[in-house]
Structure formats: structure tokens, C-alpha cells
Structure 1
Amino acid sequence: MFRLNPRVQGVSPELLHLYQKVCPSTIGHLTDFGFLKGMHPLFRPIRFVGNAVTVRIPHIDSSAVHKALDLVEPGDVIVIDMSGDTERACWGGGVSYAANFKKIAGVIIAGCATDVNEIKELGLPVFSLGVSPLTTRVLGIEGEINTTISVCGVSVNPGDLIVADDDGVFVINPKDAVEYGKKALQMQESEIETKRKLDAGVSLASLTGASRFFE
């Protein structure tokens, strides 16, 4: 059975602007939730922020991945749940070319990618669990587009905010994202003053409060 739901625009222009300089590693100081652990970029440097378009496929049939490219808009992030298959690649040079034409922000695959050199030449940002020459096929078995999926133990909904850089990927519901984004920027700005104090000879342990555990 195939399920095709309308695309969800959950991320506002204001939210995209807020997160342009937010690092996932900074948010890692604020929460343990929403991080896609185990995801690796195909190349570095890498960074993108965008609106999630979700796809779920059975391990061998990538029909829904191809169809999702009809729905995406510029700035979207395609997030693919391969139903636990970590050996096959559902994403390669052909779909990357089509995705690049649609000007999507990036791709996240809970599975493998292939045609790495082609993807690098295109400059399309891709995160995956690995790389494999074994690929999926277009078989018409089943698939879902814009439903809630699971990636690395994290629920990803259509329209979620995706934030990715060299350190990893963070996913959050847009209604919760403003608070984290503002706090993260404040932390990043405070690091400038922290480095100034370190340059002046102040110890890191005294600045962070770690010294109090040794008194």
C-alpha cells in the first residue's frame, strides 16, 4: 500500500533565519532529545537548515523516494526511514541530480547512500548511516510520504525543523524550536567572552564552575 500525504510547511522564514547560525552541538548542551545519533555526512564541510519531507520505504523498494521528489520545494530536507535496512542504498547519483534541480537543502537517510563521488560533485548535502553498492529498486511494493517516521530512534514528522552541520543532525518540532534557538545563540555569543577571559589567564574550570567540585 502507498500513502501520499500533502507536504507540510512547518518551518517559517523567521525560524530558518534564527537557526542560520545555531550549531547542533550547542543545542546538545540544552537537551538530549532530537539528535540522530549515528548519522554521518558524505563530505565536510556541510551545513543545512530546512523543512522536513518524510519518506518511509520497505528495505528494497524506493518508489516513494522517487515520488517524494515531485512534492519537495526549495529548502526542504528529505528524511528517509528504510525500515531498519542498513545494508542497501536508496539514494545515489540520479536522485541527487533530480533533488539538486529542485533546490532542496539536504537529505538524511536511515540507511545507505551510493555514488558518493557524483553526490560530492553536485555538492548536495547528504547524511547517512553508511555507503553501499547494494541498491534498492523501483518495484511498487509500498511506501509512505509525509507520515511520522523513525530515524535513529527519533520520531520525525513532516514539517519538522532539521538542523545539520559537521557535528551531526538535530530535529525539533517548530513550535518548540524558538526557545532552543534563542538559548543556543546566547550560549554561542557568550563563548566570545569566555575565550577573552581564557586569553587573560582565567582557568577554564573556574569559568565553568568545575572547580567547586574539588574544594
Structure 2
Amino acid sequence: MATDSPHSETFKEKLRQLQDYSACDVSDALLKLQKTEPGEVPRAGFLVDIGPVPLPQQHAETDHKIVAPACTLKLVSKYSRVEAAPAAENTVPKGSHWVDLTEPDTVVVIDQPEAQKCAAIGGIMAQRMKVRGVAGCVVGGRVRDMTELRSSELPIFALGKSTVGTNAESMVYARNVPVSITGVSVSPGDIVFCDPLEGVVVIPQDLLDQTLALMPKLVSADEKVKEAVAKGVSVAEAFKTFRG
């Protein structure tokens, strides 16, 4: 399926339209659109337990959503054998640093091994991403340097904190490859919807148009349900009438 160029005005308008909705609205749409295998629990794009850092209030006060395509980074343990080398175009060239290759107007999504206790990023990385024009950063792991992260003004969402630097356990495996964040697959170019009040949801790029088309209908139905319930109608009756 053809997709719009991330630099096109059409694509930018779609991202702007997403700002009118919440992460819950996005997940409601994805719950209907995404196919699951028998016995598989639907995730609807939600990155469980990923929240804003260093302080939730920093984001909640502004209620500023971050909506942008993903640019991914996969970390691995420096003590484990890597079975296969990544493709050349996904490696970080010798003498370079991954953060200097981050792309403006993207959300950098970092996949950190689950058991690691070190931080995937700290103050220096956050400041460099901000200078590079990165829209935000989602870390499937830990971060450190809370004061510096706050002063960088880069919106950051993560699982937790650490005081230990990245090199204690981690090394970069590849950039712009498919990654998994709390069990949800994220590919480069997928749309990352960071809602400081509700959480982070990832929209597969091939479902963007369908998500945008479905959300207004779902939101409209829910508004009618709320109005009816406020007037004394039972939830069961309101659901039957407006949700079908």
C-alpha cells in the first residue's frame, strides 16, 4: 500500500488531524482495525507503562501531544552474542554516534533489553536530540539525569529511571529497524502518538488513513452515549442505541 511522503503537506495534515483526538480514541480505532491471532490479547497499539519523564506534571500542565513518525534504535546487551549483523544501511558508521544521526520531526523510539538496569539515554543525548529537531523520545527502558532531561525541554516517555550510564550494559545494534516496546511492534515510519495524560500509542503506518476515517464515528457515538447517560438513560440502553 502506498503511503504519503513524511515531508508532504498531505501527511502533515494527517498528523495535525490526529491532534484532535486522545490516545484512547486511537486505541479504540485500532482495536477494531488490527487483526489478532486466536488467543492473542489485542494491544491496540498501547505501550503499557510508558509514561512522561522526568515529571508527569511537566507534560500534563501543557496537555501537549506529540504526534510524529518513528525513528528507531535497537540496543542489545554488550555481554550477549548477537546472532546476525544488521544490514549495512542500519548500522551506525564507525566513528559516528547514533544520536548524531537522529532525524528531525520524528519520535526516536529506543528498544532496550527488558532486564537491563542502566539508562538508555541521559542529559547529553536528550540535549543533542533537541538540537537535531527531534519531536520526542520513547524509551522502552530507563533514563537518567532528570534535571538535565527537564532542562532539555525534549518530551521524553519511558518505563523508569536509573543512575547508571548506558555503557554499563548496552550497546547499539542497529537503527531504523523494527523494534518491540513492551510487546508492541514498532517499525520506522509508524506514527507515534504521545499523549501525556493517557499514554503512548503506535499507529502502523498502513493503518493511518483507516484510523483517521474511523475515529470520528467512534467519538461521535460515544458523545451520544454520554449525553444519553447524563439524561438518565441506562448505559446498556445507550450502548444498544448508539453503539449498535
Tell me the TM-score range normalised by the shorter chain. 0.7 to 0.9
Counterpart position of 1:29: 28
Q: Which amino acid aligns with 2:51?
A: H
- The alpha carbon displacement at 1:75 in A equals 1.7
Q: Which residue of 1 aligns with 2:66?
A: 48
2 CA distance for matches of 1:123 and 1:191?
A: 35
* Counterparts of 1:82 and 1:193, CA distance in 2: 42
Q: Which residue number corresponds to residue 14 of structure 1? A: 13
Report the alpha carbon displacement of residue 170 of structure 1 after superposing the two structures with TM: 1.3
**Larger relative contact order, structure 1 or 2 (CA cutoff 8 Å, min sep 6):** 1
Deviation at 1:163, TM superposition (A): 0.8
CA RMSD of aligned residues (A): 3.0
Deviation at 1:113, TM superposition (A): 0.7
Q: 1:108 aligns with which of 130, 138, 143?
A: 138
Cα distance in structure 2, aligned partners of 1:199 and 1:41: 33
Deviates most, 109-118 or 69-78: 69-78
Question: Partner of 2:188 in structure 1?
Answer: 158
Paired AA for residue 54 in structure 1: T
Residues in 1 aligned to 2:153 and 2:222: alpha-carbon distance in whole angstroms: 31
Identify which range, 131-140 or 180-189, moves more after superposition. 131-140
Q: Which amino acid aligns with 2:217?
A: Q
Q: 1:137 offset after TM fit, Å?
A: 2.5
Equivalent residues of 1:109, 1:129 under 8 A apart: yes
* Cα deviations by residue, 1:93-118 (Å, 9 ceiling, x for unpaired): 11111111122121111110111232
Provide the rounded CA distance (Å) in 1 between the counterparts of 2:165 and 2:143. 8
Output the CA distance in 1 between the equivalents of 2:116 and 2:239. Answer: 40
Match of 2:85 in 1: none
1:67 aligns with 2:67: no
Q: Which residue of 2 aligns with 1:92?
A: 122
Identity %, equivalent residues: 26
Count of residue correspondences = 201
- Give the direction of change, closer, same or farther, for the CA distance of 1:67–1:159 in structure 2 (3 Å limit): farther
**1:142–1:167 CA distance, 2 compared to 1 (3 A):** closer
Deviations along 1:136-178, whole A, 9 cap, x unmatched? 1299955201111111112211111111212121112212111
Tell me the distance in 2 between the aligned counterparts of 1:51 and 1:112: 22
- The match for 1:129 among 152, 159, 162 is 159
Q: Which amino acid aligns with 2:75?
A: I
Q: Is the 8 A contact 1:59 1:136 kept in 2?
A: no
Matched residue, 2:84: none
Q: Deviations over 1:61-100 (max 9, x none)?
A: 9x96x83333333320000111334411011111111111
Checking the alignment, whether the CA contact within 8 Å between 2:75 and 2:170 is kept in structure 1 is: no
Matching residue of 1:4:
none
Give 3-state SS (helix, strand or coil) of 2:232's partner. coil
- Cα distance between partner residues in 2 of 1:19 and 1:68: 29
| 8 Å CA contact retained: 1:80, 1:110 | yes
Distance 1:15 1:105 in 2: 16
Moved more, 90-99 or 38-47: 38-47
Q: Cα deviations across residues 35-59 of structure 1 (Å, max 9, x unaligned)?
A: 2122122123252111111101124
After superposing the two structures, state which structure 1 stretch, 133-142 or 67-76, moved more: 133-142
- Give structure 2 stretches of 5+ with no counterpart: 32-41, 80-90
